[in-house]
Amino acid sequence: MLLDEGRSLETATARLWPGTDRRSCCSPGALQRAARSAAQLGLPHHVLDLETRFEDAVVEPFVRGYLSGETPNPCVDCNPVRLAALAALAEELSLPRVATGHYARLVWRDGEPWVARAAHRAKDQSYMLWAVPPQVLARLEFPLGELAKDAVRAMADEAGLDVADEPESQEVCFAPAGYQVFLESRGVAPVAGDVVDEDGAVVGAHGGHWRFTVGQRRGIGVSADRPLYVLERRAAENQVIVGGRDSLEVRSLRVREVVDRALRGGEALEVQLRYRSSPVPVAALERRGSELEVRLREAFSGLAPGQAAVFYRDDVVVGGGRIAAPGAGD
């Protein structure tokens, strides 16, 4: 697309992880396919070795988060790392901009860059970009922000690119067999513990709290006269708390590591609390020390500490943070 606009281009791929799964965006095979695409287009190709930074900033926090009872989202941590590195490479090459394949839009207001939702909502990735700082956003372009994925595949096919029919990349690129298998490969040992109901009664046993996630229904290993869901993981006690679906619902939450670009007390705000979930209207915001208390206009089911809370106004990302816990009223 940018070649058709007459741009002067060079290409780059970040090497983040040594895995071999074809769906991984950073496997050796993916690097080879990227280099081949660049060659097909007659463009120089650079490889950025970010494995050490990725390990320190993404993988290790992921492992620590799960062991502490949280459910981290590694893509949120990855994007600031690799986009900052690409912006630095562009600076070295005296190139003014970095174009990426994210499904998101960049809008400018009063001279400042803001991330906005993509036109193709089913593929929108703006949620993953809330932690990218404005100085990096200012260097970015998102050429696919107005397009649907099928249209992009058709364009790649028309251009004769071998990657036109590549399978979808996976969300956790370094854990193709699942996060439980990955954690075990990092030396996390299964430790037996109790499955406990909301009244504190032991109703079953498990082989490690980190094997579960909030909202999970299947695979709990407990027989009951009603469907049970994972409500909470208590890492210190190695307990998995279960209860009915109604107990999953919250109307408030606490957010830490807050980035506030234009929250303005919560007026006309929505907050998205999981990557694939629908946004929820915000009723009010209240600062409590370093955290933000968020009250919702509607109940949200399956709040998971460690996930991102991303705030939107008119489809533009105006802030974000990490879910600490349900609010005081839940």
pLDDT in tens, 88-112: 999 999 999 999 999 999 999 999 9
Least confident of 39-48, 222-231, 316-325: 222-231
Q: Which of 25, 26, 75, 78 is catalytic?
A: 78
> What integer pLDDT is reported at residue 25 of this predicted model?
62
Class of domain 189-243: mainly beta
Could you tell me the two tokens for 56? 């320190």
User: What mean pLDDT do residues 164-191 have?
Assistant: 84
- The model's pLDDT over 238-265, given as tens digits with 9 standing for 90+, comes to 999 999 999 999 999 999 999 999 998 8
- Name 280's bridge partners: 271
Distance CA 318, CA 267 (A): 12
| Model pTM score | 0.93
> Would you call 75 a catalytic residue per the annotation?
no
Spatial CA neighbour of 202 closest among 221, 189, 216, 188: 221
> What integer pLDDT is reported at residue 170 of this predicted model?
63
For the chain, domain boundaries:
11-165, 189-243, 249-326
Q: Which of 25, 26, 75, 173 is catalytic?
A: 173
Give 11-165's CATH code, choosing from 3.30.465.10, 3.40.50.620, 3.60.10.10, 3.60.60.10.
3.40.50.620
> What integer pLDDT is reported at residue 322 of this predicted model?
97
Give 249-326's CATH code, choosing from 1.20.120.1200, 1.20.120.1770, 2.40.30.10, 3.40.50.970.
2.40.30.10
Distances (CA, A) of 251 to 165, 176, 228, 241, 329: 42, 34, 20, 19, 8
98 neighbors 139 (Cβ within 8 angstroms): yes
301 neighbors 248 (Cβ within 8 angstroms): yes
> Would you call 173 a catalytic residue per the annotation?
yes
